[in-house]
Amino acid sequence: MFSQTMYELGTKKSTIRTIFEYGRKRAAEVGEDNIYDYSLGNPNVPAPAYIKQAIFDILNEEEPCAVHGYTIAPGLVSVREKLADSVNRRFQTNFAAKNFFITGGAAGAITITFKALSEAGDEFITFAPFFPEYKCFVEAAGAKLVVVPPQPADFQIDFTEFEKRISAETKAVIVNSPNNPSGAVYSEKTIKKLTDIMKKKEKEYGHPIFLISDEPYREIAYDNIKVPYLPHYYADTIVCYSYSKSFSLPGERIGYIIVPDEAASFEKIYGAIAGAARVLTHVNAPSLFQRVIARCCDMPSDISTYRQNGTLLYNGLIAAGFKCIKPQGAFYLFPEALEADDYAFCKKAQKFDLLLVPGTDFGCPGHFRASYCIKTSTIEKSLPVFKKLAESYGI
Ligand code: PLP
């Protein structure tokens, strides 16, 4: 009568949602200021003023039927030209409009890419901890997600475990750096080693293994850390970018896919992306926001609040006795839980009105995620509470 899988996906709430909804209920009881909700990755920095200005300018200057009308499925050529120029200037690449496909954010970009690449029996590899939606997106494309266990010392890649999991069925490898939830950025050394292995395996199996770079946090990196631009290291790279985090526009659904000319069978892959977008009812990315990003794509992101919040929370947690890697990017901390069972730990934290997400949900038990895209004052107020929580474990 209906798909049990879809029913379960639609009705079983994710842990993050359940915690968030609990937080809303609890806030109504004890007051917003007494709840420390670290559950969601919803940017708390407002979209920059130049976004608002661009919206007004577009509405005032451009023809309404065009602004609100359909565009061609890959997005307006003029917009893709602007995006290509901007990326070329920043990363010394050589892209053109034909390499870009504008999407509804990173979720749109990765689902379309997974669907475009998938054939029966294919496997997609990713590295724990990972964005939980990968599993249902990959499975919806008819493929299987294969997870490489984490390397908790630094959340770079455990290459021995990675090599064990590559097979003739591997269609693609998904990376996300800066990472949700670990906050780690893959170093150039990690990327070189990863791509060397993938090149070797492409030769061995005689078919391309694509590298899908899911990079919605690209602009959110601290201390001038280098975020390697993956098309420079590996020809068969597909870039999935989003403005949800960098411009604080998650509700507007805007991002893009880049398929470089150098990727194997570029035209076929780009065609398959267009086909996948078609069956996934993409139609086109929001027309107004295509125009907005064309006007704003060279503007900087303001990451100062995230930098301040990350430092504050990291120092506070270390002082309270937690173990954690220093935030390098994105807006998440991923410390060790204070007991082996991260669900039990997060349940206990809830009693202190600290809302944290168990690492198991990201394929990495024994840890928890704290999203620090929240008010700085909430973080300040929560630090003594984290200390009390640590003390309750005898720390
Ligand atoms: N990929 C990762 C790693 C994310 O963390 C998110 C959102 O949190 C997405 C993709 C989806 O982002 P978007 O809002 O651009 O669809």
Q: What is the ipTM of this complex?
A: 0.99
Mean local confidence (pLDDT), 207-225: 97
Residue 277 pLDDT: 98
Distance 204 CA to ligand 1 centre (A): 33
Residue 20 pLDDT: 87
CA-107 nearest atom, ligand 1? 16
Residue 103 pLDDT: 98
Domains of the chain: 4-48+302-392 (3.90.1150.10), 49-296 (3.40.640.10)
Nearest-CA residue for ligand 1 atom 8 is 41
Pocket test for ligand 1, best of 136, 180, 257 (most atoms within 8 A of CB): 180
**325 CB under 6 A from ligand 1?**
no
pLDDT at position 97 over 90: yes
Radius of gyration of the chain (CA): 21
The Cα 151–Cα 17 span in angstroms is 27
pLDDT at position 203 over 90: yes
For residues 84 and 261, is the Cβ–Cβ distance under 8 A? no
The strand pair at 210-214 and 170-175 is best described as parallel
Mean local confidence (pLDDT), 29-47: 93
Distance of CA 13 to the CA centre of its chain: 20
Q: To the nearest whole number, what is the mean pLDDT of the chain?
A: 97
Give the percent of the chain with pLDDT over 70.
Answer: 100
Of the candidates 323, 319, 257, the one whose C-alpha atom is nearest the C-alpha of residue 106 is 257
The Cα 256–Cα 89 span in angstroms is 17
The Cα 119–Cα 170 span in angstroms is 11
CB atoms within 10 A of CB 49: 10
Give residue-wise pLDDT tens across range 247-297.
Answer: 999 999 999 999 999 999 999 999 999 999 999 999 999 999 999 999 999
pLDDT at position 212 over 90: yes
* Band (61; pLDDT cuts 50, 70, 90): very high
What is the DSSP code (8-state) at residue 367?
B
**183 CB under 6 A from ligand 1?**
no
Give residue-wise pLDDT tens across range 10-34.
Answer: 998 888 889 989 999 999 999 988 9
